Amino acid sequence: MPVTVIRNAAWIVAYDAAEDSHRYLHDGDVAFDEGGILHVGGPYEGRVDVEIDGRDRLVSPGLVNIHSHPSSEAMNKGMLDEIGSPRLGMSSLYEFMPLFRPDDAGREACVAVTYAELLKSGVTTLVDLSVAWEGWVETFAASGLRGIVAPMYRSARWYTDNGHVVEYEWEADGGRAAMDTAVATVDAAMAHPCGRLSGMIAPSQIDTCTPDLIADSFALAQERGLPFQIHAAQSVVEFNEITRRHGMTPFEWLDDLGVLKPGAIIGHGIFLNDYDHIFWPEAEDFALLQRSGAAVAHCPTVFQRRGIAMNTVGRYIRGGVPVGIGTDTYPHNMLEELRNALYLSRIMSRNPYDLRTGHIYDAATLGGARILGRDDIGRLAPGAKADLFLADLRDPAMMPVRDPLRSLIYVAAERAVRDVFVDGRHLVVDGAVPGIDLADALDRLEAAQRRAEAAFQGLDYAGRRHDEASPFVFPKG
């Protein structure tokens, strides 16, 4: 296998086994091939087939994204940026998102755009939470990403016919056929010859799944040694629905089902009983979560659009809750997601020390890897997978460079990312993604968005046009 060496890298974010964290190295080499990382730090004196000048580069482990929806979210740009449902806790989940959706061609364009954007922001491992679709596994494999296929399924769909009450339409089989399809998709991913795909068991949301479907899904994940993820504690509507049905908070109910355990990932996990929007004083959700060993997928951007933020991700991390980072929505920019997590945690706590840059960077690398049961990604160390990215220290947004990760996360983000490797394969080359025709995908996504606009009024209970539900910033003349 060809050996690539990044020679004399100015800064390397290297794994420190003694501290089980990262540390900076200066002016060292990083060598790797498709089999993994061969050398980190100091001169590399082995065989070299490709040499990269690292004198103006930061070398970082690839980012691990544990929660994303590539098959739909990219098309929502410009539509869902500043709308929520005032009578449904300001969430857009129930009234608007079901009405603005891509068709089959639009979904394929969404996926291509999202995979490219994620790669360009340094993501090398992605959990793709989508409803199973024809061609998904092959498309994911072709992207070059290290992928976890997480087909979502549920027992009911939600809807509203008045804008203030959420209703549920339940499937006669409780979602079992959809679960079977999801499991078959996971099997296909794990059998794919690329060797980079694995699977996750992912019932969609706690309020759209029967108790048996949730419990059986978690049991299957445990039996097969796969991670499990479910959306929970993600809205006031859901909190109220679960307490109405069961007399317990969402976390209490998951615990009662035997699901709130190590191996479970809670998508979002924001609305605990002590959250300001909630009045359920007798529960102890945070302590329950701490004791459980369950993890949380934190995706701040999608919630900040609705005026919502976790209270606080700094508290969760300091409290020992395993936290990973995801890009639930557009922009699919992992580095900006880290920035938003940092700022929102400090705003909610009114304390700049509530969350430090190293904590959130760990969550996006080592933390996400551990949550997925991996010790070979999210780190630069001999024997780990050759998943890494290079940022340009001479990019204007990176300069002056006192601390490169701060410059990257707080200022430059994806603008400074020049090269990304997964399994030693060069997927982002000088800021471009040669394996994905992004310009074509964006044109197709644009056309799909126009089709979704045309269909919007026929799906809305109130018969609104898309530009009435989400008016343009200024009137169109």
Percent of the chain with pLDDT over 70: 100
CATH 2.30.40.10 residue window(s) in the chain = 4-61+381-428
246's CB contacts (< 8 A; 6+ apart) are: 253, 256
pLDDT at 259: 98
Residue/partner pairs of 52-56 with CB below 8 Å, 24 or more apart: 52/4, 52/5, 52/6, 52/7, 52/390, 52/419, 53/7, 53/8, 54/6, 54/7, 54/8, 54/9, 54/10, 54/29, 54/30, 54/390, 55/8, 55/9, 55/10, 56/10, 56/392, 56/393, 56/394
For the chain, give the mean pLDDT: 97
173's CB contacts (< 8 A; 6+ apart) are: none
335 pLDDT above the threshold of 90: yes
CB atoms within 10 A of CB 161: 10
pLDDT at 248: 98
Residue range 4-61+381-428, CATH number? 2.30.40.10
- Token readout for 5 is 């060496």
Fold entry, domain 63-371: TIM Barrel (3.20.20)
CATH 3.20.20.140 residue window(s) in the chain = 63-371
Q: What is the pLDDT of residues 250-285, one digit of tens each?
A: 999 999 999 999 999 999 999 999 999 999 999 999
76 pLDDT band (50/70/90 cuts)? Answer: very high
DSSP state of 333: -
- Token readout for 352 is 């700049």
141 pLDDT band (50/70/90 cuts)? Answer: very high
236 pLDDT band (50/70/90 cuts)? Answer: very high
477 pLDDT above the threshold of 90: no
What is the CA 425 to chain-centroid distance, rounded?
Answer: 22
User: Residue 304 belongs to what H/E stretch?
Assistant: helix 300-304
Q: What is the pLDDT of residues 79-133, one digit of tens each?
A: 999 999 999 999 999 999 999 999 999 999 999 999 999 999 999 999 999 999 9
pLDDT at 203: 98
pLDDT at 169: 97
166 pLDDT band (50/70/90 cuts)? Answer: very high
Q: At which residue do the structure tokens 């109405």 appear?
A: 244
**Residue 125 in 3-state DSSP?**
strand
